[in-house]
């Protein structure tokens, strides 16, 4: 069975990346965590980590006239954002203030309508010891959003039995 998907964890992370990129100055890198064999940049930078994802509703199912079925699963997804280096607290204050405001809802509605910001946990200062064993500034927060994950597949029905070749009729 061939399927197509949307609203995946990767889609969530990419959308949060785009959102943060719209807030953070261009000279400060925004990176994804858990990239193998990639060194983290020198601070300041912002890092995005995938987090928890869980269902918040029963599936819904939609059928189209061309024989496709779309199953939608509403999930609550968490993305951890870390601001490293000088000015991390200020960058985190901007991120959390706007995430908790209609600004983020408007941004997602216009740019990624399948995702909706819900709330942000309290930001916190966390120790970060670099490779030289020096302490550096690091602020972290969990951003929570709703992702409507969709899986679409073709279904053979009496109304739309799928492609039929003339060989099948003989």
CATH of domain 3-169: 3.30.2000.30
The predicted-structure confidence for 84-110, as pLDDT tens digits, reads as follows 999 999 999 999 999 999 999 999 999
Please state the rounded mean pLDDT for residues 40-69.
90
The structure tokens listed for 152 are: 């679409």
For residue 131, give the 3-state DSSP assignment: coil
- Convert 142-152 to b/e letters by CB count within 10 Å (16 or more is b): bbbbbbbbbbb
Spell out the alpha helix ranges (H) of 102-163.
102-111
pLDDT of residue 168 exceeding 60, the answer is no
> Does the pLDDT value for residue 166 go beyond 60?
no
Residue 132 region by backbone torsions, left for phi larger than 0, else alpha for psi between -120 and 50, else beta: alpha
158 burial (CB, 10 Å; 0-12 / 13-18 / 19+) is exposed
Average pLDDT over residues 150-166: 71
pLDDT bucket at 135, cuts 50 / 70 / 90: confident
Q: What is the pTM of this model?
A: 0.82
Start-to-end CA distance of the chain, whole Å, equals: 26
- Domains of the chain by residue range: 3-169
41-45, 66-70, 163-167: segment of lowest average pLDDT:
163-167
């Amino acid at each position: 069975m061939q399927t197509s998907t949307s609203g995946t964890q990767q889609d969530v992370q990419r959308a949060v990346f785009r959102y943060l990129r719209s807030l953070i100055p261009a000279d400060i890198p925004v990176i994804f965590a858990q990239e193998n064999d990639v060194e983290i940049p020198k601070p300041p930078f912002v890092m995005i980590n995938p987090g928890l994802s869980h269902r918040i509703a029963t599936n819904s199912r939609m059928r189209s006239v061309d024989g496709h079925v779309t199953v939608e699963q509403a999930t609550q997804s968490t993305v951890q954002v870390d601001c490293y280096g000088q000015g991390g607290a200020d960058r985190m204050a901007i991120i959390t203030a706007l995430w908790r405001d209609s600004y983020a809802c408007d941004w997602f509605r216009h740019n990624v309508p399948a995702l909706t910001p819900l709330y942000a946990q309290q930001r916190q200062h966390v120790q970060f010891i670099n490779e030289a064993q020096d302490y550096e500034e690091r602020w972290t927060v969990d951003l929570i959003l709703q992702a409507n994950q969709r899986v679409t597949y073709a279904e053979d029905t009496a109304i739309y039995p799928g492609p039929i070749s003339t060989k099948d009729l003989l």
